[in-house]
Amino acid sequence: MRGVLRSFCAIFLYLVVLVPQVHGAEWEKYVEFRDTVKAGTVPDALEIQGKISVQPWNETDKARLREYLDQVYSRAPGLFRLGASQGPIPLYRINLGASFGGHGSLWFSYISIGAVAHELTHVADAEHKIVRSAEFRNLVEPLIAETRSVMQQNGYSDYAATDAGARKDLYYPVGLPSYYAAATIQETLAEYIRAWVLAPDFVPPPEVASFLQAHLIDASPETDPSAAFYRRGKFARLQGDYNTSQSELSKAIELDPSFAEALIERGQVLKATNQLEKAIADFTNAIDLMSVFDWQLYLPYINRGETLAISGQYEAALADLMKAKELAPNASGLDTTIAQVLWLADMAKNRKAD
């Protein structure tokens, strides 16, 4: 195994450092700098709701970001091709919070090459199809579990702690590039790519490296029509157009029955339109398709719990809501929802007693 790793490391360094890369303006066709939110998109709906705000780019920030985009493209061009599969990736400037990749766009409050590589990976897998694939889950779930165990045995619990991040001697041997990579399966993928770009001293397990090369680094994706239907369906839901939303999301699921993100979205539409049994089925199917390390796993549990409560199944509802609490202790409004369901359950018991 050591011989295999040494050989892979040599190949890895050769590809990343020594081989001349063809780049430059090539990446520009995959992105677009924007001073305003693109109309008819999920960010557009979120901006209308006051949840997102952007500011104009200045030339200094543009120049710095161009430099980093060029460097990342030279090492991982597939990220750009994947991220732009539904059209050029919007690049937005924000002045609050952390930089992030979400809703098919990149949002920058600060600009660094690490942020570009990491967040662009989230955009490349915007609908989480790569991280939810059986192949990726089988490869990394054992590594996440082992890394968490090793780090906690050594007194670390904050995945983003600076001192924990310095303990390469603990997580490198397991096969993860950072402690933060064990936070969620989405961060595992993004941290692998960040390390691919910035940390040539890290050698991923050969089977993981092969997966990354095929599915991200050198990916040449075909257009995914299910993603287009999903994005239109989510936009329609946020606009309150449930008929259109259900129709678009159903088309996405018909094309890809294992599309967990679309199942969660359609479940919310079904819940809002009182199609409770169908909503519960969608949330259940989504849960079955998601990793225990998926950062969004709490969402179908919350939604199924709320739907069960609406249908009067309070005990099952509380079980789901408590599971969501375990997964996301700080989820907005969850404590209030649990208290309301407890009250409804008590009221139902009192009615039976009478």
**pLDDT of res. 208:** 98
> Which tops the pLDDT comparison, 135 or 160?
135
User: Is the domain 224-296 a CATH 1.20.210.10 member?
Assistant: no
**pLDDT of res. 6:** 44
- Evaluate if residue 15 carries a pLDDT over 80: no
Kindly report, residue by residue over 286-295, the tens digit of the pLDDT: 999 999 999 9
Instruction: Pull the structure tokens for residue 56.
Output: 């104009």
**pLDDT of res. 52:** 87
**CATH hierarchy code of domain 298-354:** 1.25.40
Length of the chain: 354
Enter the DSSP assignment of 28. Answer: G
Beta 105-108 vs 100-102: how paired, if at all?
antiparallel
Query: What is the rounded distance in angstroms from the CA atom of residue 127 to the CA atom of residue 177?
Result: 23
Q: Where are the extended beta strands (E) located within the chain?
A: 31-33, 89-93, 100-102, 105-108
**pLDDT of res. 1:** 45
Kindly report, residue by residue over 38-57, the tens digit of the pLDDT: 999 989 988 999 888 999 99
Rounded average pLDDT over 184-203 = 97
- Among the listed residues 318, 289, 296, the one whose alpha carbon sits nearest the alpha carbon of residue 306: 318
- Evaluate if residue 3 carries a pLDDT over 80: no
Kindly list the domain boundaries of the chain, sorted by start residue.
Answer: 2-217, 224-296, 298-354
The answer to whether residues 107 and 94 touch, using CB atoms and an 8 Å cutoff, is: yes
- Evaluate if residue 140 carries a pLDDT over 90: yes
| Stretch among 3-7, 92-96, 261-265, 341-345 having the lowest mean pLDDT | 3-7
Kindly report, residue by residue over 172-185, the tens digit of the pLDDT: 999 999 999 999 99
Confidence of residue 14 (pLDDT cuts 50, 70, 90): very low
On the question of a common fold for 224-296 and 298-354, the answer reads yes
The answer to whether residues 231 and 41 touch, using CB atoms and an 8 Å cutoff, is: yes
**pLDDT of res. 13:** 45
**pLDDT of res. 354:** 62
- Evaluate if residue 11 carries a pLDDT over 60: no
Q: Mind giving me the DSSP string for 73-107? A: HHH-HHHHHHHTBTBPEEEEE-SSS--EEETTEEE
The pair phi, psi for residue 63, each rounded to 5°, is: -65, -40
**pLDDT of res. 221:** 74
Rounded average pLDDT over 319-337 = 95
Kindly report, residue by residue over 207-264, the tens digit of the pLDDT: 999 999 999 999 987 778 999 999 999 999 999 999 999 999 999 999 999 999 999 9
- Evaluate if residue 79 carries a pLDDT over 60: yes
pTM score, two decimals? 0.89
**pLDDT of res. 2:** 42
The pair phi, psi for residue 223, each rounded to 5°, is: -60, 135
Mean pLDDT of the chain: 91
CA atoms within 13 A on the CB side of 52: 23
| Stretch among 10-14, 41-45, 149-153 having the lowest mean pLDDT | 10-14
- Among the listed residues 286, 287, 144, 139, the one whose alpha carbon sits nearest the alpha carbon of residue 215: 139
- Among the listed residues 210, 57, 87, 186, the one whose alpha carbon sits nearest the alpha carbon of residue 133: 186
Which residues, at least 6 apart from 269, have a Cβ–Cβ distance to it below 8 Å?
233, 237, 242, 245, 246, 249
* b/e map 94-121, b = 16+ CB within 10 Å: beeeebbbebbbbbbeebebbbbbbbbb
Amino acid (1-letter code) at residue 82: L
Kindly report, residue by residue over 22-37, the tens digit of the pLDDT: 444 799 999 999 999 9
The answer to whether residues 289 and 266 touch, using CB atoms and an 8 Å cutoff, is: no
The pair phi, psi for residue 111, each rounded to 5°, is: -125, 120
Rounded average pLDDT over 4-27 = 49
**pLDDT of res. 25:** 75
